[in-house]
Structures are given as structure tokens and as C-alpha cells.
Amino acid sequence: MSIFAWLLVVALAACAAPDAVGALASTAPRKSAPFQTRNLIENHQKGLKLRVSTTSIDTSGQYVTVSWSGVEDPADTDMVAMYLADRDPSETWPMKYIWTSTVPNAQRRGAGQYFFQVYNYYEPIKFVFLRGAFGDKFIAATSENITSTNPQQPTQVKLAFTEDPSEMRVTWLTQYEGNPIIRYGLSKKDLSLSVTANVSTYTPADLCDAPANSTGWKEPGTINSGVMTGLEPNTRYYYVVGDEGEGPSSKVTSFISAPTPEDTVHLLALADLGQYNEDGSRNFAYWYQYYEPADEFYAIDTMQYTMMHMILAAVNNEAEQDGTVVTYPALHMEARTGKYHSAWHNGDVSYARGAEWQWDTYGHQIEPVTSRIPTMYTMGNHEYDDPNAYDSRFSTSVDSGGECGVVQQKRAPMPTVTERDMFYSINHGPIHFLQLNTEANFEPGSAQHDFAVADLAAINRSVTPWVVVGFHRMMYTDSYYGFTPTSSQVVAADMRAAFEDLFFEYGVDMTWQGHLHNYQRTCPVYNNTCVDYDDEGVARGPIHVTMGHNGFMLTPFYQPEAPNAFDGQPTFASFGYCRAEVNRTHFNLQM
């Protein structure tokens, strides 16, 4: 990376980082600026044709050729964008788009084609050709609609533990409510056990703010979720999901049931992952999606838009989560080994931030992992934060785009205390996991803090000798961002005030978190001071591991001299994830 590109990244960290967006936001009800609302009218140009190679897809993720011709005086601002077919493009955002100038020879010929990947979005989609300057675009051509011929094809399959280790939950999406069923057994050829699943969905009324309930809204389809019961521990089971009445079933897939305290367990640990368009098209990035009512500015017209596209060019589009280009294939290979008992994703999951179709992109890309490895989630700021979120700790942050935790919890239900109190704990082999929500109130006396106190006090260390606490924001960090209530250093200090004595008292071994987009590990630490190990080699304080390097634009290490807790400890600013191998006496965590 050039020095120029690196300086651009550093400069934008202060003004466009997720923390800063939340910190500067107004507490007034927000409007969201659609992708060119001003004068976005239909003005079809004679001779300009926009065609699609098919008007139906058989399989979610199918590629469709979109071609255009007859473009007079091609411009660098010409673009082809995908929209929900039944929505007015002036009232919503594009689901993905390309600049036609990036297609070889398209400008010279006034014609070109692009291969777009199309998922089953449970709504028809269409493509439009947009022309004109920023803030003054118009629709020059529109394609035919594309629909799915297999609306009941199971997609976005996810496994998750319940509070009962003899159970396994599986959740998937279809378009309509049918008769969902899970068939499972001990071999591919013997799926003699079965259980019906429940169905649910969510509507704009369930979400708390724009853009998720307005310009970013799309129908989620039907969410099917059921629980396989009576599972033997640490045993491979095979399963399919589908509809008893119609439609195809999923592929036969397998997983390992919950391990016992005597087993060696293999884990994956994630945070701040996101998604990307495998066809190379762009997402509409969130930091120019909003405008405040008092300002009435259109962010797409601002210097920030220009600067961001300079950065995208300089850093190979990493700002649009293209680190996932590296991470996803590696995670898929890990899943195919069949050795992992679980994965733990501590917040900032899809980075949809109110653009609901990006949850579909994430769901498809992560399915090779989540259909094989039970994946346990916590809330991050980009799933939860909004002034209207339940028990929200941050009155100024709008980082979820109005989703307020609802979308994440509906699409991947966790064994939380309630559907709204999104914290929980489970035993997993020799480890006790306590999963907290840093975006909700965690101060002493809160429901979440009371839960943590009671949970840690009740752990039987003869059964689960290891204790790991997962959450999104950091307790220790070298970030210098420390001025606002949502900033890294302020929240870290608040978390230490709420939990450090508690974690020290009950011998928490490790915390896993993200939020900062790199890898950092502290020494065993208490009160910002490294502590030693006892005679048996057990650390006298928790080790705090930040693992937010999964896919979103990396965060540089800010402080020239690392804080005490990081002295001599490994730090990496490169994309990846963590894996662990744990038995009753050894905990091996790898970056």
C-alpha cells in the first residue's frame, strides 16, 4: 500500500469510523438519504437497451448476464444497479451496482455486459441503467423483472446450541410459510428422526428506525427454526431441512453435537466479518447513507463520497469489507474439515446496517460454515445501536441503521434470557461461555450485570475448568479514540469499572471481543497491570483478546507506545480469524 493510501485510511479513521458515525449523530428521528432521490425520474433514452439473460433463477446464487447497448456519449457516472422490482428506485437503495466505465471497452462501444450474482431475495428484482451527475441522476432504461422458480428452496442454514447440550437448533429461510421439517440421524442414509419447525418473520414495524424500516427494507421471507433433540454427546449427526409439502430439501450436511467436559474441543472465533459481492459489484457503503434533518445534506454529493472512492481505489476496495475475500474461503475450508465443535462470533456480523438484502448476502456466504458448525453470536454496534433500541446504552449511536438487534436475533436465534435481553451462557465441553451485549446497559444493577454476577458465581470449575466471556467492544485497547460516550477508550473504561473486579474475583480466563479491526492480545491483566502465573501455570488475571480482523477495513495501531497491558504481546493488522483447541488442562488459541 502506498504512503498516500495509508494516510487516507488514517485520516478517515477519525471521521468515518463506526464509532465516530455514532458519536456525531443527532438524537432526533432520522431520515435516510436514498441513492439519488432528487430528480431520480424515469427518462428512458431512445435506443438505450438493458437486457437480462433470464427472467427467472432456479437456484439461489445463480449468475445472470446483464447487457446494455445504445448508450450515447457514455459517461464515467453511468451505472447499472440492481433494485427490488416492486419498489420505486427513488424510495430505496440499490442492492448492488457497477460503474459501466469499469467494464472493458464499454465506454468506447456504448455497450457492454456484466455477470451479476442473484440470490433468492424472496421478492422480484430488476436492473436499471442510471445516468446523470451525482444528485441529478435519472433512469435511462429498466430491465425485465427476475423471479425465483424455487421459492421454497432452503437457504441461509444456521446451526446453534440451545441451553440443553442434547439439542441442536437449525434455522433457515424460505419464501412462504409451509410445513417445515428437519430430518436427522447417524448416517446419510438413515435420517429416520424428524422434528417440525416453527415459522416466524419480522416486519418494518418490528424494527426501530430508518433506514431498516424504510429505504433499506425488503421482505425477509419466512424464518423456519426447529430443535433436534435427544442427541448423544460429541457425535456426528447428519440432517436435511425442507418443506414436507413442496419444494426441494437442503443438501445432507453433518455436525458434531455438544462435547462433554472430558472432550477436547475445536473452536473458531470471529468478530467484525461482513460480506462482499462475489460478482465484483459494489455495495452501497453505509457512511454516506444518512443525513440529519437539520442539515438536509445529500452525502453522495459531499467530499466524503469523493474521499471514500479514492480510498476504495487505493486499498483495493477493503473499505467495502473485501478482507472477506480472504476470510470466507479460509473459513469454508475449515468447515469442510469436519473437526470443529462450534464457532463464536462476537458482533458486527453482516454490516448490513439497515440494508436488509445484505443479510441475505451474508447468510449465503456464511452458510458453508453455519450449516456445519454451530455458530453462537453476540450483538455488535452494527446489529444493535440506535437511540430507540431496547435498553440501549448509547443514546447517540445509529450504527445498526435501525435494526436494533431484531434482525440478527430473528435470523439466528440464540438461547438468550429473553428475545430482547440478548445475553446468555452455556457450558461447552470444558469451557463455560458467558456471552454479553456491550450495546445494552451493563452497569452494576442492570439486568445484564446481575445476570453476569449470578452466572459467574454458579460456575462449577470442576466441571468446566475454563471460563471465557464474549462481547463486542473492548475492555482493553490501544485506540486513542476516547472523547465521546461511544468511543473506544471511554467504553473500555466503563467496562472495566463494571466487570474487571468481577472477572478477577471469579477467575475468568479469557475474554473474546472485536470492534477494533485488528488482532491484539493482552498479558494476564488486572487494573492495567500485568500479573503473573501461579505455581500450576494458571494466569492470575484474564487475558483479553481482540479479534476484529475478519473482514472489514483494518484499523491501524494508534499509539506509538503500547499501553502496559499490551507490552510484549502480539498485535497484527492483517485479515484472518482465530481457532482454538481446548482440553481440561490446556487452552491453545491461534491467530
Q: At what angle do helices 324-336 and 357-370 cross, to 10 degrees?
A: 30
Query: In the prediction, which pLDDT does 246 show?
Result: 73
Write down the H helix ranges in 337-435.
357-370, 381-384, 406-411
Query: In the prediction, which pLDDT does 486 show?
Result: 85
List, for the chain, all residue ranges whose pLDDT scores fall below the cut of 50: 1-34, 36-38, 286-319
Q: For the whole model, what pTM was predicted?
A: 0.89
CA distances 196 to 226, 249, 548, 553, Å, are 6, 14, 37, 41
Structural domains in the chain plus CATH codes: 41-148 (2.60.40.2840), 175-256 (2.60.40)
CA distances 302 to 25, 307, 308, 323, 507, Å, are 17, 9, 10, 26, 50
Q: Are 515 and 463 in contact (CB under 8 A)?
A: no
Query: In the prediction, which pLDDT does 43 show?
Result: 78
Q: Which residue has the cell 454458579?
A: 458
Q: How many CB atoms lie within 10 A of CB 450?
A: 11
User: Helix, strand, or coil here: 201?
Assistant: coil
H-helix or E-strand spanning residue 23: helix 18-24
Instruction: Please name the residues in contact with 346: beta carbons below 8 A apart, sequence gap of 6 or more.
Output: 269, 270, 271, 377, 378, 380, 435, 470, 471, 472, 512, 513, 514, 547
Query: In the prediction, which pLDDT does 39 show?
Result: 52
CA distances 160 to 77, 179, 200, 268, 362, Å, are 45, 21, 17, 14, 17
Query: In the prediction, which pLDDT does 285 show?
Result: 57
Query: In the prediction, which pLDDT does 425 show?
Result: 98
Q: pLDDT by residue (tens digit) across 196-220?
A: 999 999 999 999 999 999 999 999 9
Query: In the prediction, which pLDDT does 506 show?
Result: 98
H-helix or E-strand spanning residue 14: helix 3-16
Query: In the prediction, which pLDDT does 556 show?
Result: 73
C-alpha span between 444 and 33 (Å, rounded): 39
